[in-house]
């Protein structure tokens, strides 16, 4: 029995021989029948009768199975269009590539060429030192790294002097640091010892970075967090080592900007120790990026950095309110940081309100209300710029987004996802991406549900049974894995059936890029990946990849952020800049940056699809609206896409609020 398929000659056909009775590509080429454009037609060899042409992807016979990966279909068209549009040197990826497309060599990431270099300089210039556990891109785990780098660069652009102090994690790739030099060797106290410590200076993305490298085991390991050392103690050491370095080098910045619990002890050390030494000038700003991580600590542990831990075990200082009356009571470095900093900022106005109303830090924040404010995070407009992004196979901007289609096809091909048809309208396949840490905060149950939903979102298929065809042909759209599996498992012997599902058009594709620090969650997602990654509509990629994240945002039609709570959220902002319409839950910074297209009272702000509940129905409501809008209103979609790409969520817009705050605190000498 022979299958007849004819495709444009430029197609390469790779039957997947894993299925039973595999068929070779040469036997395919021998077959008949030319069809319009890039569709394929199946012909019954006996009666020469053509079966319906369609743009579907899987083809099965009851005696031999062949699967034509969708990635092959449409290749010629893409090559053609990319050649015409100047992307002719593009090397199209495939899932079989030895080196996955996101691990290819990329040109140097030169983010110094900021598109805001012409921004006006401030007149009264400050020296700001950030003490932080993360910095993008060299030591980034989530948004904290992005924020430190983006804010620092925006301040530098305005003329200020900025240094970032960062642990010299063993996992930092030194080739990403320019002009790295050892600048001081000193000793910093920890647990009764003075630990020999090196301070290096280097340049990362145009920012001066001081790397603190203790000679003990702290910060060793293959990742930023989760090393085999005691993390809390390592950051207590780091907090003091930053101040000690300033002390020994006579460095007195105007502002020391600390972040999260990891550097929460620094304000305590500053006011209760280093002010009595020679550091007098700096004032301290604490930014809380996420109240969930409060740096739980015993009095004894705090004492290891040279403070008397028992002094802080009071309600108005650093005692963890949840442990009051327990034996022993615990401390919270985050709470101590709030009490001892000159100003406390959180990362969006809505999260500010939420944190004053709920959570165990609410009473501390209320007591410190006069110094507590909400400043919306931004994104770095040079690091996240689809017009210059070195990781993208094709660049684009709001005026010309042809390159976005290339990025989408590139990612689809590289991940082995089905390619959509050539015409616009009903065969458009929306690609949803979700780039996230896989932790409860991010709405894991909704991410899982979205995967099922995107996979299942189909309009009622029309099934036409046509008997007396010699072989079983099951043509299914990529999202109909279930139908395909059923048909493949239950071939109706002796009866040939054509299931024509060519009108199926409401499915979508989804790519999740995420890493789960919790083993149980990791396993759950591995199971999902095993279930879905064989099909051609869903990819669950359990890893961290900065490069792939850029490509996914560029490829995406929608970016999904279904968080249970979200202090600010950068994914929706990055998505918008890359022409992906956000589908988000209304909470924290998501509520401050995404406004529903169908519901909003201010249509000029409308830029996404928003839902409020934490249940599946609420998510469906937003996702379904996004899908139907994508398919049924392509022109409106394009207008919205253009609009969201122009929304200014950059630090250039909000860094000024930090500068104003720094100025209210600075002490003139």
Q: Choose between 500 and 592: whose C-beta lies nearer to ligand ADP.
A: 592
Binding window for ligand ADP (CB under 6 A); candidates: 137-145, 304-312, 461-469, 470-478: 137-145
CB of 146 to ligand ADP, least distance (A): 5
- Per CB under 6 A, 143 contacts ligand ADP: yes
Alpha-helical segments (H) within 376-518: 402-415, 444-456, 481-489
- Per CB under 6 A, 142 contacts ligand ADP: yes
Q: Give strand pairing partners of 432.
A: 510, 558
- Per CB under 6 A, 156 contacts ligand ADP: no
CB of 613 to ligand ADP, least distance (A): 21
Separation CA 637–CA 631 (nearest Å): 9
Q: Choose between 154 and 269: whose C-beta lies nearer to ligand ADP.
A: 154
Q: Choose between 106 and 194: whose C-beta lies nearer to ligand ADP.
A: 106
Separation CA 447–CA 466 (nearest Å): 39
- Per CB under 6 A, 582 contacts ligand ADP: no
Separation CA 345–CA 352 (nearest Å): 8
- Per CB under 6 A, 546 contacts ligand ADP: yes
Residue count, binding to ligand ADP (CB under 6 A): 19
Here the tokens at position 282 are 């700096």
CB of 515 to ligand ADP, least distance (A): 5
- Per CB under 6 A, 146 contacts ligand ADP: yes
The β-bridge relationship of strands 207-214 and 193-204 is antiparallel
Of residues 360, 544, 643, 657, which one binds ligand ADP by CB under 6 A? Answer: 544
DSSP sequence for 630-649: HHH-HHHHHHHHHHHHH---
Integer CA distances (angstroms), 549 to 17, 180, 381, 424, 567, in order: 32, 27, 16, 26, 21
Of residues 201, 437, 445, 470, which one binds ligand ADP by CB under 6 A? Answer: 437
CB of 490 to ligand ADP, least distance (A): 39
CB of 568 to ligand ADP, least distance (A): 6
How buried is 2 (Cβ within 10 angstroms: 0-12 exposed, 13-18 middle, 19+ buried)? middle
CB of 381 to ligand ADP, least distance (A): 14
- Per CB under 6 A, 570 contacts ligand ADP: yes
CB of 122 to ligand ADP, least distance (A): 27
How buried is 659 (Cβ within 10 angstroms: 0-12 exposed, 13-18 middle, 19+ buried)? buried
Of residues 14, 191, 405, 545, which one binds ligand ADP by CB under 6 A? Answer: 545
CB of 514 to ligand ADP, least distance (A): 5
- Per CB under 6 A, 305 contacts ligand ADP: no
Of residues 3, 212, 435, 556, which one binds ligand ADP by CB under 6 A? Answer: 435
Q: Choose between 269 and 347: whose C-beta lies nearer to ligand ADP.
A: 347
Q: Choose between 242 and 512: whose C-beta lies nearer to ligand ADP.
A: 512
- Per CB under 6 A, 571 contacts ligand ADP: yes
Radius of gyration for the chain, computed over Cα atoms and rounded to the nearest angstrom: 28
The β-bridge relationship of strands 161-167 and 207-214 is parallel
- Per CB under 6 A, 569 contacts ligand ADP: yes
- Per CB under 6 A, 45 contacts ligand ADP: no
Separation CA 586–CA 593 (nearest Å): 10
Binding window for ligand ADP (CB under 6 A); candidates: 139-147, 184-192, 390-398, 414-422: 139-147
Please, what's the b/e burial string for 230-258 (b: 16 or more CB within 10 A of its CB; e: otherwise)?
A: ebbbbbbbbbbbbbbbbbbeebbbbbbbb
- Per CB under 6 A, 376 contacts ligand ADP: no
> Which among 577, 558, 570 has a CA at the least distance from the CA of 647?
577
CB of 512 to ligand ADP, least distance (A): 9
| Binding residues for ligand ADP restricted to 487-526, rule: CB under 6 A | 513-515
Please, what's the b/e burial string for 306-330 (b: 16 or more CB within 10 A of its CB; e: otherwise)?
A: bbebeebbeeebbbbeebeeeeebb
DSSP sequence for 129-150: EEE-S-BTTTB-SSHHHHHHHH
Residue ranges that bind ligand ADP, judged by CB under 6 A? 142-144, 146, 435-437, 513-515, 544-546, 549, 568-571, 574
């Amino acid at each position: 029995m022979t299958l007849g398929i004819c495709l444009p000659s430029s197609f390469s056909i790779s039957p997947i021989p894993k299925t039973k009775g595999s068929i070779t590509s040469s036997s395919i080429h021998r077959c008949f029948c030319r069809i319009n454009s890039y569709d394929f037609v199946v012909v019954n060899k006996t009666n020469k009768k053509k079966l319906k042409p369609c743009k579907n992807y899987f083809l099965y016979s009851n005696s031999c199975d062949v699967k034509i990966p969708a990635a092959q279909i449409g290749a010629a068209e893409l090559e053609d269009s990319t050649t015409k549009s100047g992307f002719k040197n593009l090397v199209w990826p495939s899932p079989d590539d030895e080196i996955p497309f996101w691990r290819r060599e990329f040109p140097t990431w030169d983010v110094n060429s900021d598109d805001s270099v012409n921004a006006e300089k401030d007149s009264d210039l400050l020296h700001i030192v950030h003490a932080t556990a993360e910095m993008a891109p060299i030591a980034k785990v989530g948004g904290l790294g992005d924020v430190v780098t983006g804010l620092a660069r925006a301040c530098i652009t305005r003329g200020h002097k900025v240094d970032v102090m960062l642990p010299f994690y063993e996992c930092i790739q030194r080739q990403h640091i320019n002009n790295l030099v050892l600048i001081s060797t000193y000793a910093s106290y920890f647990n009764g010892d003075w630990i020999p410590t090196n301070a290096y200076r280097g340049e990362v993305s145009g920012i001066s970075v001081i790397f603190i490298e203790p000679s003990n085991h702290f910060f060793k390991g293959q990742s930023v967090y989760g090393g085999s050392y005691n993390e809390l103690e390592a950051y207590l050491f780091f907090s003091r080592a930053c101040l000690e370095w300033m002390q020994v080098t006579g460095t007195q910045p105007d502002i020391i900007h600390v972040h999260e619990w990891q550097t929460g002890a620094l304000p305590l050390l500053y006011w209760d120790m280093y002010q009595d030494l020679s550091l007098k000038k700096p004032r301290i700003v604490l930014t809380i990026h996420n109240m969930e991580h409060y740096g739980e600590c015993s009095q004894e542990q705090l004492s290891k950095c040279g403070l008397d831990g028992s002094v802080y075990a009071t309600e108005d200082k650093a005692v963890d309110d949840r442990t009051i009356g327990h034996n022993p009571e615990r401390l919270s470095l985050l709470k101590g940081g709030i009490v001892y900093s000159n100003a406390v900022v959180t990362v969006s106005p809505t999260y500010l309100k939420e944190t004053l109303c709920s959570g165990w830090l609410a009473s501390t924040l209320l007591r410190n209300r006069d110094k507590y404010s909400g400043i919306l995070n931004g994104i770095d407009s040079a690091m996240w710029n689809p017009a210059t992004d070195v990781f993208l196979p094709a660049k684009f901007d709001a005026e010309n987004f042809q390159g976005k289609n290339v990025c989408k096809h590139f990612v689809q091909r590289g991940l082995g996802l089905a390619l959509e048809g050539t015409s616009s309208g009903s065969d458009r396949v929306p690609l949803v991406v979700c780039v996230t840490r896989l932790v409860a905060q991010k709405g894991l149950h909704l991410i899982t549900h979205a995967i099922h939903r995107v996979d299942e979102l189909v309009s009622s298929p029309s099934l036409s049974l046509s008997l007396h065809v010699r072989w079983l042909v099951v043509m299914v759209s990529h999202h109909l894995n279930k139908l395909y599996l059923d048909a493949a498992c239950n071939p109706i012997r002796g009866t040939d059936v054509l299931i024509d599902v060519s009108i199926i058009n409401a499915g979508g594709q989804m790519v999740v890029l995420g890493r789960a620090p919790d083993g149980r969650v990791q396993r759950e997602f591995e199971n999902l990946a095993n279930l879905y990654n064989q099909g051609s509509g869903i990819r669950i990629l359990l890893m961290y990849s900065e490069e792939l994240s850029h490509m996914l945002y560029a490829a995406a039609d929608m970016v999904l952020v279904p968080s249970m709570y979200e202090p600010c959220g950068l994914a929706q902002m990055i998505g918008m800049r890359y022409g992906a319409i956000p589908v988000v839950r209304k909470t924290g910074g998501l509520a401050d940056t995404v406004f529903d297209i169908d519901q909003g009272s201010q249509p000029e702000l409308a830029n996404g699809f928003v839902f409020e509940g934490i249940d599946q129905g609420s998510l469906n409501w937003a996702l379904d609206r996004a899908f139907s809008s994508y398919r049924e209103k392509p022109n409106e979609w394009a207008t919205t896409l253009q609009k969201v790409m122009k929304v200014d969520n950059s630090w250039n817009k909000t860094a000024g609020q930090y500068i104003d705050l720094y100025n209210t605190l600075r002490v003139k000498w």
